Amino acid sequence: MTRHAALAARYGTPLYVYDLDEVALARHELFTALPDGAELFYAFKANPHPELARALREGGERGCRAEISSTGELAAALTAGYRAEECLYTGPGKTIGELHEAIGRGVRVFSTDSVTDVRRVGAVAAAHGVVADCLLRINSADASATTSIRMTGTPSQFGFDSETLAEAMPSLRRADGVRLAGMHLFPLSNARDEDALIGEFEHTIELAARLSAALELPLRLLDIGGGFTAPYGVPGRRGSYPNLRDRLETALDRHLPGWRSGAPRIAFESGRFLVGAAGTLVTEVSNVKISRGRRYVIVDAGINTFGGMSGLGRLMPVAVALELEPDGPTERGTLVGPLCTPGDLLGREIALPADLEPGDLVEIPNTGAYGVTASLLMFLGRPAPLEVLLRSGEVVSASRIEHHRSHQPVPYARTVVEAGALG
Ligand SMILES: *Cc1c(COP(=O)(O)O)cnc(C)c1O
C-alpha cells in the first residue's frame, strides 16, 4: 500500500496530504533565486493552514513573513507563530472594524489602495495612539510583459494609478496616524516565462525609483510582488528562475543603490510557488458510469473540495490531470465530483487509469495552493476534507475545517420590522 493509500485508509477521503519537507524545499529554492537579503511574504490566500504557514516562517533569515488580507488570515498568521510586526495587511476594502482588530493586535504595515484607505488606516492608528506604515500600492500605467493575468496598466480596484499619484500626494501627506513608508506592486501572477517576469520586475524597480524621486516619497520598503509559477492540479514542477537573482541585483544597484544596506528593504510575495507542490488531494471513486458512450468517474471530491474558484474564470481554471504509471493501461474519462450540478467537473475527457472502480483512489497532484479554502466549501453541505501534514514521512497534524451556523440573539427583530428596515 502506498503512503497516501495508508493515510486514506486511516483518515478517510477526500483527504489533503501536505508534505512539509516539500514546503521547506520550495522556500529554499525561492530564497535562493531572489536577490541577497530580500524578504519574502507568504500570501496566506494560497493556503492559510497554520502549520503549513508555520513551516514557511522557520529558517531564520530565510523565513517568510505574512501577507494577509482579513482578520481570519491575521488569526491564522498569529496562530502559526508570526509576530504581528511580520505581517503586511493588504486589500482594497479594509473596514474600520478590521483595522481596529489588526492594529489592536499589533499590525503596523499596510498596503493601501486609495486616499480613503490611507486616511482610514491613519484614523484607526491614531485612535490606538500609534503610527502605521503605509505602502502605496501602485497600478502602473505601462507594463513591460504580457502574461496570463495582468493586474496593472488597466483600471483596477487595486492601487493608485501611477500617472495621477502626484495629485493624491498632498492629501496623503496630510493624513494623520500614518507614515508613508514605500510602495507595493503586484503586476502579475503565475509567470511561466522567466524573461517576462524579470522584465516586469525591472520595470517595477525603475518605476518605484522614479516615483520616489519625483514625488519625494520615502522608500523604506519596496514590495515588488511575485508571480512565481507552480502547476495546479496537474503533474509537473514549479518554475525555476536561474537568472532572476543576478538581473535583479543589477537593476537594484542601478536604480536603488542603497538596497544592499537596507535602504530600501526589498520584498517579494508568493503563494502557489511555496505550497502548491506540497499538496496531494486523495479522493475515492464512488461510481463509474457510462452515458452515451462517455465514461464518468465520480469521485468524492468536487469543486466543494478543490478548484471552486475556477468559477471566477480567470484565476485558475481547474483541469486536473493525474500522475499515471508509465506503462499502465489508461482510458479516457470525465472526472467529476459528487455535487448536484453539472459544473462539478474536475477534468473533461482526461487520461485516467483503465478499469477504475468504486473504492479505488484517485490522487490529484500539486494541490497545496488554492485548494480547500479556495473551494466552494459550503456548497451542498458536505464536510470539509481532512488535511494531514507530514514531516519526514510522519503525520504531524490532522485536522478539518468545521462550519456551523452560530445563532445570534434577536431581541430587536420587531423594532427592525417596524422601522421598515426589512422592507
Ligand atoms: C494572491 C496574491 C499573491 C499570491 O499569488 P501567487 O500567484 O499564489 O503567488 C501575492 N500577493 C498578492 C498581493 C496577492 O493578492
For the chain, domain boundaries: 5-15+277-418, 20-272
pLDDT exceeds 70 at position 316: no
Cell numbers given for 342: 453539472
Interior angle at CA 173, CA 109 and CA 210, nearest 5: 80
Tens-digit pLDDT profile for residues 188-242: 888 889 999 999 999 999 999 999 999 999 999 999 999 999 999 999 999 999 9
The residue among 243, 135, 229, 164 whose CA lies nearest residue 199 is 243
Per-residue confidence (pLDDT) for residue 59, from 0 to 100? 83
The residue among 212, 221, 92 whose CA lies nearest residue 160 is 92
Tens-digit pLDDT profile for residues 365-398: 999 999 999 999 999 999 999 999 999 999 999 9
Q: Is the CB of 51 under 6 A from ligand 1?
A: no
Q: Is the CB of 159 under 6 A from ligand 1?
A: no
The stretch 149-160 carries a mean pLDDT of 75
pLDDT exceeds 80 at position 251: yes
Q: What is the pTM of this model?
A: 0.93
The stretch 319-345 carries a mean pLDDT of 91
Highest-pLDDT range among 59-63, 139-143, 395-399: 395-399
Could you tell me the distance, in angstroms and rounded to a whole number, from the CA of residue 20 to the centre of ligand 1?
20
Taking CA atoms only, the protein residue closest to ligand 1 atom 7 is 189
Per-residue confidence (pLDDT) for residue 35, from 0 to 100? 97
pLDDT band at 60 (very low <50, low <70, confident <90, very high): confident
Ligand 1 pocket, mutate which of 44, 111, 270 (most atoms under 8 A from CB): 270
Rounded CA-CA distance 247/270 in Å is 19
Q: Is the CB of 147 under 6 A from ligand 1?
A: no
Per-residue confidence (pLDDT) for residue 236, from 0 to 100? 96
Per-residue confidence (pLDDT) for residue 283, from 0 to 100? 98
pLDDT exceeds 80 at position 151: no
Could you tell me the distance, in angstroms and rounded to a whole number, from the CA of residue 174 to the centre of ligand 1?
30
Could you tell me the distance, in angstroms and rounded to a whole number, from the CA of residue 54 to the centre of ligand 1?
18
Cell numbers given for 99: 483595522
Per-residue confidence (pLDDT) for residue 419, from 0 to 100? 60
Per-residue confidence (pLDDT) for residue 96, from 0 to 100? 97
pLDDT exceeds 70 at position 154: yes
The stretch 17-31 carries a mean pLDDT of 98
Q: What separation in angstroms does the CA of 63 have from each of 50, 86, 320?
A: 15, 11, 31
SS (H, E, C) the chain: CCHHHHHHHHHCCCEEEEEHHHHHHHHHHHHHHCCCCCEEEEEHHHCCCHHHHHHHHCCHHHCCEEEECCHHHHHHHHHCCCCHHHEEECCCCCCHHHHHHHHHCCCCEEEECCHHHHHHHHHHHHHCCCCEEEEEEEECCCCCCCCCEECCCCCCCCCEEHHHHHHHHHHHHHCCCEEEEEEECCCEECECCHHHHHHHHHHHHHHHHHHHHHHCCCCCEEECCCCECCCCCCCCCCCCCCCHHHHHHHHHHHHCHHHHHCCCEEEEEECHHHHHHHEEEEEEEEEEEEECCEEEEEECCCCCCCCHHHHHCCCCCCCCCCCCCCCCCEEEEEEECCCCCCCCEEEEEEEEECCCCCCCEEEECCCCCCCHHHCCCCHHHCCCCEEEEEECCEEEEEEECCCCCCCCCCCCHHHHHHCCCCC
User: What's the mean per-residue pLDDT of the chain?
Assistant: 92
Strand 294-299 relative to strand 279-291, pairing: antiparallel
Could you tell me the distance, in angstroms and rounded to a whole number, from the CA of residue 242 to the centre of ligand 1?
21
pLDDT exceeds 90 at position 155: no
Q: Is the CB of 269 under 6 A from ligand 1?
A: yes
Per-residue confidence (pLDDT) for residue 1, from 0 to 100? 80
pLDDT exceeds 80 at position 418: no
The stretch 332-349 carries a mean pLDDT of 92
Could you tell me the distance, in angstroms and rounded to a whole number, from the CA of residue 270 to the centre of ligand 1?
6
State the fold for domain 5-15+277-418: Lyase, Ornithine Decarboxylase; Chain A, domain 1 (2.40.37)
Q: Is the CB of 46 under 6 A from ligand 1?
A: yes
pLDDT exceeds 50 at position 148: no
The stretch 87-113 carries a mean pLDDT of 98
The stretch 327-337 carries a mean pLDDT of 93
Rounded CA-CA distance 307/291 in Å is 24
Could you tell me the distance, in angstroms and rounded to a whole number, from the CA of residue 185 to the centre of ligand 1?
11
How far apart, in Å, do the first and last CA atoms of the chain sit?
Answer: 61
Cell numbers given for 371: 485548494
pLDDT band at 144 (very low <50, low <70, confident <90, very high): low
Instruction: Say which residues have a Cβ less than 8 Å from residue 367's Cβ, sequence separation at least 6.
Output: 16, 232, 233, 276, 279, 280, 281, 306
20-272 CATH: 3.20.20.10
Residue 309 CA, chain-centre distance (Å), reads 12
Taking CA atoms only, the protein residue closest to ligand 1 atom 14 is 43
Contact predicate 64/57, CB 8 Å:
yes
Cell numbers given for 361: 483512489
Ligand 1 pocket, mutate which of 88, 186, 223, 312 (most atoms under 8 A from CB): 186
Percent of the chain surpassing pLDDT 70: 92
* Index of the ligand 1 atom closest to the CA of residue 111: 13
Per-residue confidence (pLDDT) for residue 408, from 0 to 100? 85
Cell numbers given for 404: 456551523
The stretch 307-329 carries a mean pLDDT of 76
pLDDT exceeds 50 at position 82: yes
Contact predicate 170/219, CB 8 Å:
no
Per-residue confidence (pLDDT) for residue 317, from 0 to 100? 66
